[in-house]
Chains A and B, each alone.
Chain A
Amino acid sequence: MPLSDEELAQLCRQDSKHFDPLVTRYAEKIRRYIARLIGNWQEAEDLTQDVFVKTFTNIASFNPKLKFSSWIYRIAHNESVNFIKKNYRHRIVEFSDEIKNKLVDHGTNYRMILEKENTQAIRIGLAKLRHRDREIIELAYFEQKSYLEIADILRISVNSVGSMLNRAKKNLKKIIAKNDQIRR
């Protein structure tokens, strides 16, 4: 039976070879997550590398009572926020075609939404959303995280997750409707 993420994280303190399975499990997920947040696939790769270096050097601070995935996503969140602050991006983050394809391929719930809505409209809507709104939709629908995990990643209360998600969806809907009006 393979070891859990949390067990591997604890074993990393003694032997760094236990870090490899964690890299295999999370590298792509984290890159995709960061790419969607910052809208740049190449930068996302560099940031993913930084996330894993930070995860490894700070592995002794990991609290095994929490989920490892929440912890590494928290580090990825911090790195993305720092990157956005440093590079002061415009609110509109233009997603590349590569990211667009990955967005469509991943996530059953999201695919369901996509089936109902126009893919292009959602893509533009997501890109125009505020970073915080985009991130919460990202975690809930793309990464399929539970409310508790989202609370751990964003360091917000469990109740706030629900209200923030509703607000983000409303904002997305508004943007899509507005874009739709402009097109007509």
Chain B
Amino acid sequence: MTKLEDKIKHAVQDKKPKPKSYFVIQNTLREIIVAILWLACVVLLGAIIYLLQYFPWRVFIRPRFFLHGMAGLPWELVFLAALLIVVLYFLTKNISTFYRHRNILIAALVVSLLAGYFIAELSGLNETIAKAKPLKPLYQQYGKFIAPERFPGTIGEITSVSENQITLLDQQGNEWTALIDDRTKMPGSLAVGKRIIVIGAINNHEIKAQEIGEFAGRRGFGNGRPAGPRRMY
């Protein structure tokens, strides 16, 4: 026996192996955290996709609205989702199948998240979560109920049309007056009841309209039911 072996055996003599249950509990806790994070990612993905569906992409057509458009995208949700995915990646990358074949891990994450998103939408889980009392304020700001102030334009239903102004009612029931002049870019026809988006500087419920466009957002979502308890415009 070498000196080193002797030293090691001597050092190990007083030690006791940790029980199997210690590692079982540790692994179970990790799996629970992974499951919670995964579910949070699925819900976030649902909220992001929902917001993007309603996003007035036409603002990007005109370069001067580019920054408005970029600012209106749900970056904080995207950032949060990306952060959760990175944490998920690090929590699962020590599993031998995954680190040996990193592509499998990435594909498994993407596929499971997308599958989870569709299941959550079709089963109405996202809808239920959106209506849950503690989460409602969050969703009012970011998710299912879409706050108009997030967007680079004001969205609403036309209540009256005159030569130099349009009145519209937004989703919260607020009335807005869009002031029109020669420079305002407008769609072909504007009629009462039509949903529009008005882009321009806002001053106390008055919008100096630079561009008005028809709003192409859907009224229902996924399972055909209304997106939230409130009337969509």
Give residues in A with beta carbon < 8 Å to B. 12-13, 16, 19-20, 23-24, 27-28, 31, 45, 48-49, 52-53, 56-61, 63, 65-66, 148, 151-152, 155-160
A57 and B17 in contact, given A151-B99, A157-B100 (Cβ under 8 angstroms): yes
Q: Which of B11, B20, B99 is A13 in contact with, Cβ under 8 Å?
A: B20
Contact assessment for A155 and B15 in the assembled complex, using a CB-CB cutoff below 8 Å = no
Q: Which of A20, A66, A151, A160 is B9 in contact with, Cβ under 8 Å?
A: A20
Closest to B10 in A: A49
Q: B76 an interface residue at 8 Å Cβ cutoff? A: no
When chains A and B are docked, how far (Å) is the Cα of A20 from the Cα of B100?
A: 31
Q: List 14 A-B contacts (CB under 8 A).
A: A12-B17, A23-B5, A45-B4, A49-B7, A49-B11, A56-B12, A56-B17, A60-B23, A61-B18, A63-B96, A65-B96, A148-B100, A157-B101, A160-B102
Closest to A70 in B: B96
Residues of A within 8 A of B7 (CB): 45, 49
Residues of chain B at interface, number, CB under 8 A: 25
When chains A and B are docked, how far (Å) is the Cα of A60 from the Cα of B17?
A: 7
A58 and B17 in contact, given A155-B93, A157-B100 (Cβ under 8 angstroms): yes
Give residues in B with beta carbon < 8 Å to A. 1-2, 4-5, 7-9, 11-12, 15-20, 22-23, 93-94, 96, 99-103
Residues of B within 8 A of A159 (CB): 102
Contact assessment for A61 and B4 in the assembled complex, using a CB-CB cutoff below 8 Å = no
Residues of A within 8 A of B99 (CB): 151, 155-157
Closest to B94 in A: A155
Contact assessment for B96 and A157 in the assembled complex, using a CB-CB cutoff below 8 Å = no
Contact assessment for B102 and A157 in the assembled complex, using a CB-CB cutoff below 8 Å = yes
Q: Which of A16, A20, A27, A148 is B2 in contact with, Cβ under 8 Å?
A: A27
Q: Which 5 A-B pairs have the closest CB atoms?
A: A157-B102, A61-B23, A60-B20, A52-B8, A155-B99
